[in-house]
A and B are shown apart, each in its own frame.
Chain A
Amino acid sequence: MADMLSLRGVDKVFATGAQALGGLDLDVREGEFLSLLGPSGCGKSTALRMIAGLSQPTRGSMEWRAGRPEIGFVFQDAVLMPWANVFDNVWLPLRLTGQSRAQSAVRIEAALELVGLDGFAKAYPRELSGGMKMRVSIARAMVLRPALLLMDEPFAALDEITRLKLNNDLLRLKQELGATVVFVTHSVFESVYLSSRIAVFSARPGRVVAEIEVDAPLPRDDDFRLTPLYGHACKEASDALHKAMGEA
């Protein structure tokens, strides 16, 4: 797989003097599902924001191989506009590129169907459960059919059952859209289940200290959790994570 994006020797120092990233080397490959795994405060979210263009490196280089692609972003919370219904929330990216409501209707309906929310277009965010809000958020990120989907611990606040369900839906979505996904998480099991590759972060300053390939084809289903390969990968990721946290 070809590299889509290369970060080399990237430092990020905030105005407060806090250093979030130090000497980060990271490649994102075309079509992969890459997880950034690490303890809280290790700069993985900062790295994701940098890829999104919401934050600039203090030092180091960031290069897109074929230009910056269309990017979708999903936050830890659903981050919906509470005053707008589901339809209008998903419309937002299209609206900001100048598409009218009527022009967008078909794509919005398609995006909602993709995340299993057809029939909820008229609902307001507060009428939805946490999992459904996250689905709206994913539909919004998907509606422009981005080549790169960035997700910042999107399922961290959800209950276990909803989370497992959304994990499977996400793998199916990625397959249908053929997008590259970069997924920030602090869960070893989630990262192994979802990813084709895991970059383990160490804190203070944040950098990649280990990379783990998970050699099982995508998409996967719950049976994957019972395979030796899953167990091995979890052990490997867990060890790397402990080492990164200075415990091993």
Chain B
Amino acid sequence: MRRSFADYALPLLVFLAMIGLWEALVRINDIPPYVLPSPSLIGVTLVKDWGTLSGSLLVTLQITFQALLAATVGGVALAILFARSRWIERSFFPFAVVLQVTPIVAIAPLLLVYLDANTAVLVCAFLVAFFPILSNMALGLASADHNLIDLFELYKASRWKQLILLRLPAALPYFLGGLRIAGGLALIGAIVAEIAAGSAGQGAGLAYRIVEAGYRLNIPRMFAALVLISASGILIYLVFTLLSYVLLSRWHDSARERGL
């Protein structure tokens, strides 16, 4: 399927039109910046405060990716363990579910009691990113073609070889789907935990900048930080979508362009 120019141009035009409308509404109605800043003012603030904001962006991204890395290693390892033994899966999966269904906002204050602020934020981001990777990976490992499993058994393949040559490749599309969800969630987890920690006067991530700017009624800076958070989320999503495409386009239907 070839994308025509209009496929890209139309959404872009609509987006720009909405920004223009915002700008116009603020100017025509003379809305003060501490109520609603115009897009141009947010842009100016972004440039002017870049020194402060970029440092915070780096901190937030660092936490997000550290958490994602830990969630990936932990989730994949635990999923492999689950695939090896039903007994382990039955015993430990409930814990994973409990962690998943308990809102992270509710856990964050508790973690801040036990851990220092940076570690607590990291753990929060890890907790929300962990489950999608674990559950998708477990599903992927279990979804290997049963006939192929029979074939490996026929040739007396060890469980290790079955894992490496069959179950892991079969799980790859599921894992990448989980990673895409977990990437966004890790960012959300980091922000939520930062807000919890920031309100206690600690941390230096983007969420802390929002809270801090809020106290000072610096609304344009709040918006500027928000723009950076959104952009980070979009970027994370795009990176993992691209990764999926690169790894799967040769063989998996999800990354296949449909011929018409």
Contact = CB atoms under 8 A, between A and B. Distances in A.
B9 interface: no
Interface in B205-257: 250-253, 256
Nearest to A53: B154
B157 A96 contact: yes
Contact of A83 (B151, B154, B169): B169
Given A54-B153, A96-B157, A79 B145 contact: yes
A71 B154 contact: yes
Contact of A95 (B156, B165, B253, B256): B165
A73 interface: yes
Contacts of B161: 96
B152 A79 contact: no
A82 B154 contact: no
Given A96-B156, A96-B161, A79 B251 contact: no
A211 interface: no
A82 B155 contact: no
A73 B165 contact: no
A75 B169 contact: no
B166 A81 contact: yes
A237 B252 CA distance: 43
A49 B256 CA distance: 35
Interface string A74-96: 01010101111000000011011
B156 A54 contact: no
A52 B154 contact: yes
B152 A96 contact: yes
B150 interface: yes
Contacts of B157: 96
A77 B152 CA distance: 16
A97 interface: yes
B147 A77 contact: yes
Nearest to B156: A96
Contacts of A95: 165
B147 A75 contact: yes
Contacts of A84: 169, 251
B251 A73 contact: no
A124 B155 contact: no
A54 B154 contact: yes
Interface in A33-55: 49, 52-54
9 contacts: A54-B150, A71-B154, A73-B150, A82-B251, A84-B169, A92-B151, A92-B165, A96-B157, A96-B161
Interface of B: 145, 147-148, 150-157, 161, 165-166, 169-170, 172, 250-253, 256
Given A49-B150, A83-B172, 20 more contacts: A54-B150, A54-B153, A73-B154, A75-B150, A79-B145, A79-B147, A79-B151, A81-B148, A81-B165, A81-B166, A82-B251, A82-B252, A83-B169, A83-B250, A92-B155, A93-B155, A96-B152, A96-B161, A124-B251, A126-B256
